[in-house]
Amino acid sequence: MEIWINPACSKCRGALSLLDAEGAEYTVRRYLEEPPGEDEIRDVLARLGLEPWEITRAQEAEAKELGLLEWAREPGSRERWIGALARHPKLIQRPIITADDGTAVVARTEEAVRDALGRG
């Protein structure tokens, strides 16, 4: 499995601690240093079963600068959102764990991390 993290994020550090405590094998991706492209974001969204606005950190200064709160949240606007996430990776909710079974979870809680562990 792979976990997308921002090392400054307490939720990310908590998820890593739990993965380590459980002896999980995983790869760390510091997604601010190695940003995902649009295709990767589309893939993760499909794995999550979510829309891009559902994994967007709307409280970030960049979101306010872009006016994201006013953007339409509908299928026709999906690509605009994905493009914004690719150009501004800080807007991507974290941590995200992609499991070996092809699914993914936004691992902000211990329960979500354990869910990802159960998926392998």
Per-residue pLDDT of the chain (120 residues; tens, 9 = 90+): 999 999 999 999 999 999 999 999 999 999 999 999 999 999 999 999 999 999 999 999 999 999 999 999 999 999 999 999 999 999 999 999 999 899 999 999 999 999 999 876
- pTM for the predicted model, two decimal places: 0.93
9 annotated active-site: yes
Q: Crossing angle, helix 110-119 and helix 10-21, to 10 degrees?
A: 50
Q: Looking at 9, 24, 32, 66, which residue is catalytic?
A: 9
